């Protein structure tokens, strides 16, 4: 019997690995340490919880601690791993007023990522939130409530929630004006969530466009749509600090000197991998700063794996390391590592950087490399953008759908693309994700026999129209 | 200057070819003969026109005769090609009380398919319709109208429509009970259309399940759904004849002797390719009865092409000839042939048999080979069916989605699959169509980086869940 499989971090990657290992090798001891109280929760659902479309915090849990116990996983919540000794093959654990060494046979680092707040001075003021974690989401929703309502009952999650913080925010007068700092996923989703609460919503983006990873064609459509929905967009505008009195946020100040009175702020300027634990060890990190892994999730150190938002994967198109902290990647890599440590070597799979985001009614998708990244990776990118209908023009519900495709000039290989539209646009990005996994050329994509029926697609799906136009240019 | 490019048939394949040829080689003479009055119309929209979701017949036209004239295509409506002489390189044309020989340089046969009605005796009675062509659709909708209304104005299409037929049906009392004979695409779509008109709808299917090409998992869901919507399903029931007096349909009689009083019938028991023109010529037909073509749409005879519902293509999975008369195939093959005859040799593309159909709220999709066809093609098929949510479970609108995947046991290659569900299920079949075009294995599909965001998909898309389960069995 080998030493236990020890997992650091009890969210998507960690618990996927623990569960899969237990399923494949029921006799193997599996120990999971989670420094917080929450485990196995749906981070991506937080904006919809703040919006109110998700009722209670516990709805966002994939597994309860009871489910985990039933799987015979030895879960320790409120226990932080503070050091790794790869020679002794132990981790140092702190929790319940004790500190001890835990030996491991295999070790998985699944420590996730943390929201960047340092760039914005004053992000720690009351009324300012980084929507990263259920406690922050709970506090934000409590803040939006009328003080006469029972905030703790409203947010749920009683066994885990930071009750003091929820009650403190619940007692405050609800905010009226919010500044969202950063126009990425969280920023755009929170603009929708807070507009639904009738707040006056201002979105600040340092660069020229929101949703940078989705490219300009998507950004243009989304920006028009955000404005139509009443969001005040401040593009090319860098936020310097959040100011206020008594520790509260009361104003936002931009680097150009303009100011805005606010009573709430959402700071979503990015995340960084939690890699403190590997500093000073022989576990390598990559250029991104995240932990380097091979195609089975193994780090540079024997017996140590990494997965999820703290780890790099390989990019489907370039074959090079890439750090794209998203949910499927974490779950899939965790599951594969769980199988591997149970004796069934399994590849973690590559990542195409496939992502979708809802911006009010607009559905946005992206996959692979857009022109700038493609050029950096040594390709000679050619790109075309088209707009076509989502259904037969005569069928009710047809909506404009904008597709961008990028290909390599010489090999004609598809490198990536984006999509935006209100009618089933998001799911269509999976066509590109699949074509990227299959190393397809634009010509092959153009000749793919996609589905056609008037309620669902025109004869030439927007993706095929884009492939036709791009192929014609190659 | 070569002799003209002559096209027989003015619908999807024919006009796609004519338009593309003119665009690529504007000086080439392009002549199109269409025996009927309608050209370039959306056959697939007919059930929605009968339902009333599409307002007028002209909404179903992709191109008007004026559009076609603007493209400098020499279109002759009401002109039938009655013979082909491949030695003389001429076709014999009848129309406008004349009969003449038209020489060709290149010839495209795009004569389409016709509805099979012979198996059902009495299908020619008044009140019985094969919904195949705009005149039949117009007559059916006129029949549903109150006689006090102006049927001709209601259906539109005044320049082309068979006005006498529309007015005759418009004057009749609307039907109350309809028998739909055949549970294929047309049958299922017409069940929805006629239920919307509050008819008492009976659907007769000779075999055990509706939507045979979609397999049992889809059929099971659709049959339950049809019954919920009030459709009386008669499975394993063969219709022998339609009876009545004065040329009208008044009753349906099954081979088991049961009878049903009806005042409308829709006969949708299949189509067959229109290949009369090649009988007695050296132009070969395949096993399916449709015209054989190579990967550029060339028939066995030099200078003669075929495309659309009258022609075979190659199957994406088997590489063998296949006859799957659907819209994208026709448009794509026509367009490729137009490019080829204009001097730019272009492959027509393979067909995966990708198809989607709406059955009230259920969206059904299929692609590739299901187990029976896979075994016939020499594979050793393994199949799994799963049901999973279409979105994160906590997000509103998540719906059960059933996916079947089929793979070859030895090579682990994906061979085909089906999907059914109410939430964006149809568009998801394109993932399978793309994976088939890319010759992907089930393992590759399982590791494809598909999109995830709570409003659009769970972390593990239903397609990935199915791939995981099937891969686990290989």
Q: Which residues of B touch A363 (CB under 8 A)?
A: 455-456
Per CB-CB distance under 8 Å, the chain B contacts of A213 are: none
Contact in structure between A43 and A327 (CB atoms under 8 Å): yes
Question: Last residue of some domain: A223, A248, A269?
Answer: A269
Q: Does B431 touch chain A (CB under 8 A)?
A: yes
Q: Which of residues 451-470 of B touch A (CB under 8 A)?
A: 451-457, 459-461, 463-464
Question: Residue A119 has what pLDDT?
Answer: 85
Residue B291, domain CATH = 3.50.50.60
Chain A environment of B435 (Cβ under 8 Å)? 434, 437-438
CB contact under 8 A, B447 and A395: no
Q: A308 and A410 in one domain?
A: no
List of chain A residues whose C-beta atoms are within 8 Å of the C-beta of residue B445: 434, 437
CA distance B50 to B169: 13
Look at residues A132, A145, A109 and name the one whose alpha carbon lies nearest to residue A41: A132
Question: Tokens for A340?
Answer: 């591997």
What ipTM was assigned to the predicted interfaces of this complex? 0.96
Cross-strand bridge partners of residue A271: A115
CA distance B219 to B233: 12
User: Does position B223 have pLDDT exceeding 80, yes or no?
Assistant: yes
Please answer yes or no on whether A434 and B431 come within 8 Å at the CB atom.
Answer: yes
CATH number at residue A466: 3.30.390.30
Inspect the interface and report whether the beta carbons of B395 and A48 lie closer than 8 Å.
yes
- The Cα A290–Cα A276 span in angstroms is 10
Using the 3D structure, point to which of A244, A269, A294 is the last residue of a domain. A269
A135 and A258 in a single domain? The answer is yes
Mark which residues 20-49 of B lie under 8 Å from A by CB.
Answer: 42, 44-45, 48
Distance of CA A436 to the CA centre of its chain: 21
Determine the distance in angstroms separating the CA of B80 from the nearest CA of chain A, rounded to an integer.
27
Give A93's Cβ-side CA count (13 Å radius): 23
Nearest residue, CB atoms, B424 vs list A424, A431, A463: A424
Q: Which of B154, B194, B174, B181 is nearest to B51 (CA)?
A: B194
B352 inside domain: no
Asked if A261 and A301 sit in the same domain, the reply is no
Q: Which of B130, B61, B169 is nearest to A394 (CA)?
A: B61
Query: What is the share, in percent, of chain B residues with pLDDT greater than 90?
Result: 95
Looking at the partner chain, which of A332, A349, A449 has a beta carbon nearest the beta carbon of B351?
A449
Q: Are residues B24 and B144 in the same domain?
A: no
Active-site residue set of B:
44
In chain A, which residues have pLDDT < 70?
Answer: 1-2
Express each pLDDT in B414-452 by its tens digit.
999 999 999 999 999 999 999 999 999 999 999 999 999
User: How many CB atoms lie under 10 A from the CB of residue A270?
Assistant: 13
Contact A48 B329 (CB under 8 A): no
Number of residues assigned to chain B: 474
Verify whether the Cβ–Cβ distance B451 to A426 is below 8 Å. yes
pLDDT of residue B2: 67
* C-beta separation of A258 from A239 below 8 A: no
Q: Would you say residue B23 lies in a domain?
A: yes
The helix/strand/coil state of A435 is helix
Q: How would you write chain B as a 3-class SS string?
A: CCCCEEEECCCHHHHHHHHHHHHHCCCCCEEEEECCCCCCECHHHHHHHHHCCCCCHHHHECCCHHHHHHCCCEEEECCEEEEEECCCCEEEEEECCEEEEEECCEEEECCCEEECCCCCECCCCECEECCCCHHHHHHHHHHHCCCCCCHHHHHCCCCCCCHHHHHHHHCCCCCCEEEEECCCHHHHHHHHHHHCCCCEEEEECCCCCCCHHHHHHHHHHHHHHHHHCCCEEECCCCEEEEECCCCECCEEEECCCCEEECCEEEECCCEEECCHHHCCCCCCECCCCCECCCCCCECCCCCEEECHHHECEEECCCCCEECCCCHHHHHHHHHHHHHHHCCCCCCCCCECCCEEEEECCEEEEEEECCHHHHHHCCCCEEEEEEEEECCCCCCCCCCEEEEEEEEECCCCEEEEEEEEECCCHHHHHHHHHHHHHCCCEHHHHHCCCCCCCCCCCCCCCHHHHHHHHHHHHC
Both tokens assigned to A21: 């290992």
Domain count, chain B: 3
Residue B54 falls inside a structural domain: no
Q: How many CB atoms lie within 10 A of CB A367?
A: 31
Partner-chain contact B356 A453, CB within 8 Å: yes
| pLDDT at position A118 | 80
Close Cβ partners of B408 (under 8 Å, ≥ 6 residues apart): B374, B379, B380, B381, B382, B415
Q: Which residues of A touch B353 (CB under 8 A)?
A: 449
What is the model's pLDDT at position B91? 98
Are residues B442 and B467 part of one domain?
Answer: yes
Could you give the percent of chain B with pLDDT greater than 70?
100
Look at B427 and A427 and tell me if their CB atoms are within 8 Å: yes
Which of A454, A469, A471 is the best mutation test for B, with the most CBs of B within 10 A? A454
Predicted local confidence at residue A33, as pLDDT: 98
Residues of A in contact with B394 (CB under 8 A): 42, 45, 48, 54, 59-60
User: Domain check: are A200 and A141 in the same one?
Assistant: yes
- Residue ending a domain, choose from A269, A296, A317: A269
Q: Which positions in chain B touch A358 (Cβ < 8 Å)?
A: 453, 455-456
CA proximity to B329, closest of A462, A431, A428, A464: A464
- Which residues in chain B (290-309) have CB-CB distances under 8 A to chain A? none
Between CA B131 and CA B50 the distance in angstroms is 9
Residues B222 and B300 grouped into a single domain: no
> Are A29 and A87 found together in one domain?
yes
Is B292 within a domain? yes
> What phi and psi, each to the nearest 5 degrees, are found at residue A213?
-65, -10
Residue A63 located in a structural domain: no
Q: Which of B467, B355, B472 is nearest to B406 (CA)?
A: B467
Q: What pTM was estimated for this model as a whole?
A: 0.96
Examine the domain organization and report whether B253 and B308 are in the same domain: no
Please indicate, yes or no, if residue B325 is contained in any of the structural domains. yes
Spatial distance between the Cα atoms of A290 and A284, rounded to a whole number of angstroms: 9
The two structure tokens encoding residue B377: 């093609």
Q: Residue B41: inside a domain, yes or no?
A: no
- Neighbouring-strand partners of residue A106: A5
| B358-381 confidence digits (pLDDT tens) | 999 999 999 999 999 999 999 999
Rounded Cα gap, residues A13 and A309, in angstroms = 8
- Whether residue B269 contacts residue B182, with contact meaning beta carbons closer than 8 Å, is answered with yes
What residue has token string 């569960």? A19
Taking a contact as any Cβ pair under 8 Å apart, which residues of chain B between 347 and 386 contact chain A? 347, 349-358, 363, 365, 367
Q: How far apart are CA B165 and CA B172, in angstroms?
A: 11
Each residue of B455-468: pLDDT tens digit? Answer: 999 999 999 999 99
Based on C-alpha coordinates, what's the Rg of chain B?
A: 23
The angle subtended at Cα A435 by Cα A430 and Cα A436, nearest 5°, is: 95
Query: Closest chain A residue to B48 measured between Cα atoms?
Result: A395
Q: What is the pLDDT of residue B408?
A: 98
Together in a domain, B201 and B317: no
Quick check: helix, strand or coil at residue A168? Answer: helix
Q: Tell me if A50 is assigned to some domain.
A: no
Domain with B200, as residue range(s), is 128-269
Q: What is the dihedral of CA B217, B223, B224, B230, to 10 degrees?
A: 170
Cβ atoms of residues B139 and B265 within 8 Å? no
pLDDT at B1 over 60: no
Q: Do A140 and A241 lie in a common domain?
A: yes
- Tens of pLDDT, residue by residue over B312-366, are 999 999 999 999 999 999 999 999 999 999 999 999 999 999 999 999 999 999 9
Q: Which tokens is B126 given? A: 């008044």
A244 and A287 co-located in one domain: no
Q: How many CA atoms lie within 13 Å of B239's alpha carbon, on the beta-carbon side?
A: 30
């Amino acid at each position: 019997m080998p030493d236990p499989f020890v997992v650091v971090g009890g969210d998507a990657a960690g618990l996927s690995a623990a569960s899969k290992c237990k399923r494949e090798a029921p006799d193997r001891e599996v120990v999971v340490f989670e420094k917080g109280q929450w485990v196995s929760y749906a981070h991506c659902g937080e904006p919809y919880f703040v919006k109110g479309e998700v009722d209670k915090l516990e709805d966002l849990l994939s597994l309860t601690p009871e489910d985990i116990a039933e799987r015979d996983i030895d879960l320790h919540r409120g226990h932080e791993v503070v050091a790794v000794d790869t020679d002794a093959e132990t981790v140092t654990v702190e929790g319940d007023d004790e500190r001890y060494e835990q030996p491991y046979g295999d070790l998985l680092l699944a420590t996730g990522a943390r929201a960047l707040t340092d760039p914005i001075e004053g992000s720690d003021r009351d009324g300012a939130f980084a929507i990263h974690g259920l406690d922050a989401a709970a506090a934000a929703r409590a803040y939006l409530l009328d003080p006469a309502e029972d905030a703790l009952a409203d947010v749920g999650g009683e066994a885990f929630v930071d009750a003091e913080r929820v009650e403190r925010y619940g007692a405050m007068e609800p905010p009226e004006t919010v500044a969202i700092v950063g126009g990425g996923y969280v920023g755009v989703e929170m603009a929708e969530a807070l507009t639904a609460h009738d707040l006056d919503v201002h979105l600040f983006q340092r660069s020229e466009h929101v949703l940078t990873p989705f490219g300009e064609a998507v950004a243009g459509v989304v920006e028009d749509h955000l404005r139509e929905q009443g969001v005040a967009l401040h593009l090319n505008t860098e936020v310097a600090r959040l100011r206020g009195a008594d520790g509260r946020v009361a104003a936002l100040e931009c680097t150009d000197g303009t100011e805005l009175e606010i009573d709430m702020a959402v700071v979503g300027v990015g995340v960084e991998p939690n890699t403190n634990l590997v500093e000073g060890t022989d576990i390598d990190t990559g250029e991104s700063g995240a932990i380097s892994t091979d195609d089975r999730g193994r780090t540079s150190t024997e017996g140590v794996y990494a997965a999820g938002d703290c780890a790099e994967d390989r990019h489907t198109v370039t074959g090079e390391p890439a750090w794209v902290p998203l949910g499927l990647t974490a779950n899939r890599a965790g599951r594969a590592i769980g199988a591997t440590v149970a004796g069934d070597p399994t590849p973690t799979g590559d990542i195409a950087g496939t992502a979708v985001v809802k911006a009010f009614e607009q559905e946005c998708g992206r996959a692979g490399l857009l022109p700038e990244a493609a050029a950096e990776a040594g390709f000679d990118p050619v790109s075309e953008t088209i707009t076509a209908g989502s259904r037969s023009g005569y069928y009710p519900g047809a909506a404009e759908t904008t597709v961008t495709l990028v290909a390599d000039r010489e090999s004609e290989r598809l490198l990536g693309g984006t999509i935006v539209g209100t009618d089933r646009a998001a799911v269509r990005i999976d066509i590109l994700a699949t074509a990227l996994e299959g190393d397809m050329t634009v010509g092959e994509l153009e000749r793919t026999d996609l589905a056609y029926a008037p309620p669902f697609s025109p004869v030439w799906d927007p993706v095929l129209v884009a492939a036709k136009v791009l192929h014609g240019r190659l």
